[in-house]
Amino acid sequence: MSEASQLIEVRDLVVRFPIRDHGKRTVIQPVDHVSFGIRPGEVLALVGESGSGKSTIARTLLRIVTPSAGSILFDGQDVTRVKGRALAQYRRNVQMVFQDPFSSLNPARTIEAHLSYPLRKHHRLRGKELGDRIDELLERVGLTPTKDIRLKYPHELSGGQRQRVAIARALAVSPRFLVADEPISMLDVSIRAGVLKLMDDLRAAFNLAYLYITHDLASARYFGDRIMVLYGGRVMETAPSDDLIRNPSHPYTRLLLAATP
Ligand code: ADP
Ligand code: MG
């Protein structure tokens, strides 16, 4: 696999946080020399127990957290420490969907306002063109684009509808890469499959790449082309989903599989 075929490439990523432990200054390292690549349109599922560093990797990819060491390449460009305009441009290509859809949404803004803001700012749409694009986005995520839904506030929607709006908002800037941090784990079990299927449809429609974070191996297998297993901030193994499930090479993966119903 040539490096040029990667959309995102993470090399030897290290994240450290200074903390106080019993009043003493110390440092924790939740991400410990992590490397992976994701091709355009590919889904890499990241699994690991709570506290293993998954969300820290997500936030570092979004450049909400600055890496302590290592590098992040996007489309061949080093974005590890870029600032200003280069950072803004990178962030248009990389969007995040959170576990709690309220984290992506502003309680004081209507659904229409959530979608019109990025469309105005990044695509400079106005008037009818803007309205049409909002309806198209709502339809794209499986919501009927009625006036009723456009003028609702996030708390007036169901959990699944809210996550669909959060996904539509992420899509509004036409990203090439989505980081989805446990996007279905707070949803009712009955609607999880629908949201996962939507993300899978979007991958095909837009050649969208994903880092799909989950602690659920079944959904990792369904959605992920490959699965990467994280433990204590380190990558234990990465393999095509079916291979990893059928023939895990690391003892921790076998433990994880044995714990899965
Ligand atoms: P996961 O998403 O796999 O549950 P996290 O990435 O959220 O794991 O957390 C990994 C570890 O890093 C945890 O011990 C957490 O407390 C710690 N951590 C995360 N963010 C910070 C921060 N900003 N400051 C200090 N410690 C942090
Ligand atoms: Mg997390």
Q: Which residue's CA is the closest to the ligand 1 atom numbered 20?
A: 56
ipTM: 0.98
29 Cα to the center of ligand 1, angstroms? 9
Strands 69-74, 8-21: pairing kind: antiparallel
Q: Which residue's CA is the closest to the ligand 1 atom numbered 15?
A: 51
Q: Output the tens digit of pLDDT for each of the chain's 261 residues.
A: 445 599 999 999 999 999 999 999 999 999 999 999 999 999 999 999 999 999 999 999 999 999 999 999 999 999 999 999 999 999 999 999 999 988 889 999 999 999 999 999 989 999 999 999 999 999 999 999 898 899 999 999 999 999 999 999 999 999 999 999 999 999 999 999 999 999 999 999 999 999 999 988 999 999 999 999 999 999 999 999 999 999 999 999 999 898 887
- Judged by its nearest atom, the ligand closest to the C-alpha of residue 230 is 1
Give the mutation target among 13, 17, 57, 181 for probing the ligand 1 site: most ligand atoms within 8 A of CB: 17
- Judged by its nearest atom, the ligand closest to the C-alpha of residue 26 is 1
Cα distances (angstroms) measured from residue 110 to each of 44, 81, 130, 187: 33, 34, 15, 21
Where helices occur in 23-182 by DSSP H, the ranges are 54-61, 84-93, 111-123, 127-140, 147-150, 159-171
57 Cα to the center of ligand 2, angstroms? 9
Rounded Cα gap, residues 72 and 67, in angstroms: 9
The 3 state secondary structure assigned to 90-106 is: HHHHEEEECCCHHHHCC
Q: Is 220 helix (H, G, I), strand (E, B) or coil?
A: helix
* Residue 178 β-bridge partners: 95, 210
Report the pocket of ligand 1 as residue ranges, CB < 6 Å.
17, 19, 28, 30, 48, 50-56
Starting at the earlier edge strand, list the strands of the sheet with 69-74: 24-38, 8-21, 69-74, 77-78
Q: 10 Å Cβ neighbour count for 55? A: 19
Q: Which residue's CA is the closest to the ligand 1 atom numbered 23?
A: 17
Q: Which residue's CA is the closest to the ligand 1 atom numbered 25?
A: 17
Query: Tokens for 99?
Result: 């576990």
Specify the pLDDT at position 170. Answer: 95
Could you tell me the maximum CA-CA distance found in the chain, to the nearest angstrom?
A: 59
Characterize 241-254 residue by residue with b for buried, 16 or more Cβ atoms within 10 angstroms of its Cβ, and e for exposed.
Answer: beebbeebeeebbe
Q: 10 Å Cβ neighbour count for 175? A: 18
Phi, psi of 110 (to 5 degrees): -70, 165
